[in-house]
A = this chain, B = another copy of it.
Amino acid sequence: MRILIVNVNTTESMTHAIGMQAQKVAAAGTEIVALTPRFGAESVEGNFESYLAAVGVMDAVMSYGQPFDAVIQAGYGEHGREGLQELLDVPVVDITEAAATAAMFLGHKYSVVTTLDRAVPLIEDRLKLAGLNDRCASVRASGMAVLELETQPERAVEAIVHQAGLAVSEDHAEVICLGCGGMAELDAKIRELTGVPVVDGVAAAVTIAESLVRLGLSTSKVRTYAPPRTKRVTGFPFTGHTPGLTARSFANVSKSLASVKQMS
């Protein structure tokens, strides 16, 4: 089984880290392929960058020239998952939703601890749309920027653990979701300090994607996520260097998209 995991920003080191983390929890026999968008922001911390990422992720997936069995969008609170679901015949899993879903099996309420305060409403909105916010006690910001998680790891741990502690004591969270792709290493530390389960979205998404594939389940195509209708689309994929799609890859791609792409 091959799972594509797509970073939402253009920072290759983060793509690498996400890929490693995904491979670590993957089942034997699962190959993880980590992709970086060809355009977009070096970190995604707002709607402008998130919308660029939505298209950047779709571009990266559609330009990938090999067959694959599932796609994970590895951005916390980002736009775009629904577009991928239309374009592909294989399951698509967003890490925000994967983490929330896992957390709900573990405690009565969960909280998300994320990076900057400005990311909070995006995450809240994504959970609301996904119908997974009813048992969300809070989304809290550590005040650390995405890239600072790499450059100031110690301060990041401290800030995140502090907010996780408040989520448990003030907001009555019983589980913490790490609200950013770059936070994966912090699991153990937070669990030790707060005493509650800590869910990493990438890890959760890998097992969910594997499960759906194993069960032969994929996106319903009857309405919301039906393939795009055949029509003229200009300028996508953006670079013009669309790699030849293999036959297997086409199996992944919703049929009518073939026509879309030919026209573009």
Contact = CB atoms under 8 A, between A and B. Distances in A.
Interface of A: 10, 25, 27, 38-43, 45-52, 54-55, 58, 79-80, 82-83, 85-87, 91-93, 97, 101-102, 104-109, 117-118, 120-122, 125, 128-135, 145, 168, 172, 174-175, 195-197, 199, 203-204, 207-208, 210-212, 214-215, 217-226, 228-229, 231-236, 238
Contact of A218 (B106, B134, B224, B226): B106
A108 B229 contact: no
Q: Specify how many copies of this chain sit in the oligomer.
A: 6
Contact of A174 (B55, B145, B220): B220
Given A41-B232, A50-B83, A145-B229, 15 more contacts: A42-B232, A46-B228, A47-B86, A47-B224, A49-B233, A52-B235, A54-B54, A54-B79, A91-B106, A101-B101, A107-B222, A121-B224, A128-B128, A199-B215, A204-B211
A212 B175 CA distance: 13
Contacts of A174: 220, 222-225
A107 B224 contact: yes
Contacts of A125: 129
A101 B204 CA distance: 13
Given A91-B105, A222-B195, A58 B48 contact: yes
